[in-house]
Amino acid sequence: MRGAKSATWVAGAIAVALTATACGGGGNDSDDNAAVNPDGTYTYYNVEPQNPIIPSNTNEVGGGYIVKNLFRGLVDFDEKSKLRLVAAESIDTTDNQTFKVKLKPGWKFHNGEAQTASSFVDAWNWAANAKNKQLNASWFEPIKGYDEVHPAEGDPKAEKLEGLKVTSDLEFTIELKKPVSTFKEQLFYDVFSPLPKAFYKDTKAFGEHPIGNGPYQQDGDWQHKVEFKTKKFADYKGDDKPKNGGVVFKFYNKDDAAYNDLVSDKLDIMYQVPNSMAGQYQNDLGKRAISQMFGGNTNISFPLYEAEWAKPEKVKVRQGLSMAIDRETIAKTALKGSKDAADGYTPKVVEGYQGGACGEFCKFDPAKAKELIKAGGGVPGNKITLTYNADGANKEWADAVCNDIRQNGGVECVTDPKPTFQQARADITERRMKSAFRMAWVQDFPNIQNFISAQYRTKAGANDMEFSDKAVDELMDKADASKTIEESNKLYAEAEKKIIQEQMPSIPLFFDHTLAGYSKKVQNVKFDSFRQAIWTDVEVKK
C-alpha cells in the first residue's frame, strides 16, 4: 500500500494543526463547455518526492503521482476500478501461475527507444536484485527465483529471476512460485513499469531525469521543492491520449497552503482538501468541489500477541468497544464528512464489497457495549491507550473515539499520539503495543483481496496484530485458487465476515472519503477510487 497513507505521512508532517483559509467566492463559475486549449498545462497538488523518480524505488505519493504519469505498465484500473490492459495486448493464464504476456507493438520511450519485452524483464530483474537496494523489491516476491536474486541475507545467488523468460521481441512469460489469483491486478503496481536502456547507464541521472513510456514526459529540470513539469508525449501509443498539454506537479509542505492557492486559482487541482476545510470547501468551490468514496479505511487494532488480549473472551470486549463508538456522529461533526462510518473492513467503492460484514457490532449501542465489555471480563489493565501518529490528520477521530469509549463504554481511554508516522510504525512493527493502535489501509488495487489478505492472513506483511485463524487462512487460500474473480470475491467477503463477527482483531471505524476540488481554469476533472485525477482527461480552458 502506497498512496494516501504516505501522503498523510508526508504532507501531514507539518500540518499537525491547521489554519483557516480563504473565504473564496461560492460556486457559480464552473462552465463545463468553455473552449479548451489542448496544449494548456495545469498544476496539480503534490509533495516533494522523497526519492529519485525510479518506479522500483518510489513508494510514496509525492513520487508516485509523477511515476504514474511518466510510465505505463501492462495493466491499470479505469475510473470504475475495472482492470484493463494498457501496454499489454494480452495476458493469458490458465492456472494463475504461468502468465503469457504479449505487448502492444509500436510503443516507444520518451527518448525514442522502442519498448520491447526486455524493457520489462530487464527492469524487473534489476529491481528485484538485492544489490540494487530497491525499496519495492519485495513486490517481485511471488515470482519464481526471487529468493535467489534477493536472499534474506548475503549476496544474490542469481542475477535474473528464473520465472521471467523473453520469448520474442514483444512476448515474455512470468512464472510464479505458486498460483496467485490476483497477480494480474498486482501487475498494476508502478514497480512493474518498463525501463529504457538509458536507465542502466546512469541510474542516478535517471532519477533526476526519468524517461518513461507514459502519456507525459518530463519538461525541463526537476525544480526540487518547487515543481516538476511534464508535457504531453507526442508518440504515446496508449488509448488515454492527453486532452491537455501537460501536468505541472506543484510541491507544498502543507495542504492548507495549497488550499489557499486552490481557492484563489493559483493551483488547479487538489486531490484532498485539508480536514480543517472539509466543512467549508463546498461553499468555497461550489460545483468545483468533488466528494466521493475512496478505497481506504481506518481501523483500530489490538495486539493479539499480548497474552491478555489473546484470551478468547476478549472478542466480546473488542466488540463491545466497537459498539460504544458513535461512528456516524463522529464522521459528521469532528471529521466534517472527510470520512464515512464503516460497516466492515472493505470500503464501499472496492470490488468485492458486500456490505454489512460488521453487522450489529458496528451499530452504536452504549447499553449493549457495556454489557459485552463486562461479559468479556473487562479491558486488560482497565484502560485503553490508543496509539496513532500525530503527523497525519488523525487527532480529531482518535480523540473522538477515545471519548466515546470512555463515556459510552465506561472504560478509561487515553490517546497516545506519536510525533511521526515513522515512530508509530516502529513501535507497531516491533510489537511493542500493549493496547489499541491505529491501523489504516489504502488499496494497492481496488479489490477486497487486498484489504483482507494483506492484513488478516497469518504472518501477512501488514498483519500488525499477529492475528491468526486457520479457518480464515483456508478460506483465503481457497479464494486465491478460485477460477474467477467473482468467486474469489465471494470467498473473501465470507472471510471478512468471519474475522469480524468471530474475532474482531481490529475494530472497523471509517472509510476514507475523497474531498477534492479544482480551479476555474480547468474542467472535466474526475477522480478514481485511488484519489487520483484522471490526469489525461483534464481539459484546460482557453
Partner 1 sequence: MGRFVARRLLQMIPVFIGTTLLIFLMVYSLPGDPIKSLFGPKAADPATVARLRHEYGLDKSLLEQYWNYISGLFQGDFGQSFTGRPVADLMSEAFPVTIRLALLAFGFEVIVGIALGVLTGMRRGKFLDQFVLVLTLLVISVPVFVIGYVTQFLLGLKWKVITPTVQDSENLGQLMIPAIVLAALSLAYVIRLTRTTVGENLRADYIRTAVAKGLPRKRVVGVHLMRNSLIPVVTFLGTDLGLLMGGAIVTEGIFNIQGVGFTLFKAIQTSEGPTVVGIVTVLVLVYLLTSLLVDLLYAVLDPRIRYA
Partner 2 sequence: MPEKTLPHETTTPEAVSTALKSGAGKPRSLGQDAWRELRGSWLFWASGVLLILFIVMAAFPSLFTDVDPRQADLRGHYLAPPNWSHIFEGDWFGYNGQGQSVYARTVHGARASIIVGVCVTLAVTVVGGFVGMLAGYFGGWVDALLSRLTDIFFGIPLLLGALTLLQAFTHRTAWTVSLGLATFGWMQIARVMRGAVITQKQADFVTAARALGAGTGRILLRHILPNVIGPVIVVATIALGGYISTEATLSYLGIGLQDPVVSWGVDISAAQSQLRDAPHVLLVPASFLSLTVLAFILLGDAVRDALDPKLR
**Which of 233, 229, 251, 253 shows the shortest CA–CA distance to 242?**
233
Beta strand segments in 29-187, E:
41-46, 75-77, 83-85, 88-93, 98-103, 164-168, 171-175
User: Which of residues 462, 481, 487, 498 is near partner 1 by CB under 8 A?
Assistant: 462
329, 393, 356, 63: which is closest to 208 by C-alpha?
63
Residues 153-212 within binding reach of partner 1 (CB under 8 A):
153, 204, 207
In degrees, rounded to 5, the angle at the alpha carbon of residue 15 between the alpha carbons of residues 9 and 20 is 145
Cell readout for 231 is: 508535457
Residues in the chain: 542
Contact segment (CB under 8 A) with partner 1 among 135-143, 165-173, 397-405, 476-484 equals 135-143
Q: What is the full DSSP assignment across 309-329?
A: HHSTTHHHHHHHHHHT--HHH
Residue with smaller CB distance to partner 1, 264 or 333? 264
- Residue 264 partner contact from partner 1, partner 2, none using kind-dependent CB cut-offs of 5 to 8 Å: partner 1
From the list partner 1, partner 2, none, which binds 422 (C-beta under 5 to 8 Å, kind-based)? partner 1
| Residue nearer to partner 2 on the CB measure, 150 or 418 | 418
Nearer to partner 2, 127 or 398 (CB): 398
Pick between residue 379 and residue 400 the one whose CB is nearest to partner 2: 400
**DSSP strand E in 272-411: where?**
289-301, 339-341, 383-389
Q: From residue 237, how far is each of 72, 103, 343, 414 by CA, in Å? A: 10, 12, 42, 55
Is 304:538 a contact under the CB 8 Å cutoff?
no
Least distance CB 488 / partner 2 (angstroms): 39
75 CB burial (10 A radius; 0-12, 13-18, 19+): buried
Taking CB under 8 A as the criterion, the residue among 76, 185, 190, 261 binding partner 1 is 261
CB of 429 to partner 1, least distance (A): 7
**C-alpha distances in angstroms, 340 versus 57, 357, 511, 513?**
33, 15, 5, 7
The b-or-e profile of 461-478 (16+ CB within 10 A means b, else e) is eebbbbbbbeebbebbee
Which partner in partner 2, partner 1, none is near 158 (CB below 5 to 8 A by kind)? Answer: none
Residues 6+ apart with CB under 8 A from 252: 11, 45, 46, 47, 258, 261
Rounded to whole angstroms, the maximal C-alpha distance in the chain is 69
Of the two residues 260 and 387, which places its CB atom closer to partner 1 in the complex? 260
Q: Is 471 in the site for partner 1 (CB under 8 A)?
A: no
- 402-441 residues in contact with partner 1 (CB under 8 A) are 419-423, 425-426, 429
Instruction: Compare residues 231 and 327 and give the one whose CB is closer to partner 2.
Output: 327
Q: Is 150 or 288 the residue whose CB approaches partner 1 more closely? A: 150
Q: Which does 481 bind (CB under 5 to 8 A by kind): partner 1, partner 2, none?
A: none
By CB under 8 A, residue 82 contacts partner 1: no
Q: Of 338 and 523, which has the nearer Cβ to partner 2?
A: 338
Does 135 bind partner 1 (CB under 8 A)? Our answer is yes
CB of 109 to partner 1, least distance (A): 23
Whose Cβ is closer to partner 2: residue 80's or residue 432's? Answer: 432
- Closest C-alpha among 339, 326, 261, 262 to residue 293: 339
Q: Closest approach of Cβ 167 to partner 1, in Å?
A: 30
Distance CA 72, CA 14 (A): 32
Which has the closest alpha carbon to 296: 482, 103, 438, 502?
438
Instruction: Compute the distance between CA of residue 297 and CA of residue 441 in angstroms, rounded to an integer.
Output: 5
329 binds, among partner 2, partner 1, none (CB under 5 to 8 A by kind): partner 2
Binding stretches for partner 2 (CB under 8 A): 16-21, 23, 274-276, 279-280, 326, 329-330, 333-334, 390-391, 395-396, 399-400, 402-404, 406-407, 414-419, 423, 427
Binding site for partner 1 (CB under 8 A): 1-2, 5-6, 9, 13-14, 19-23, 48, 50-52, 59-60, 130-131, 133-135, 137-138, 150-153, 204, 207, 224-226, 251-254, 257-258, 260-261, 264, 266, 391, 419-423, 425-426, 429, 461-462
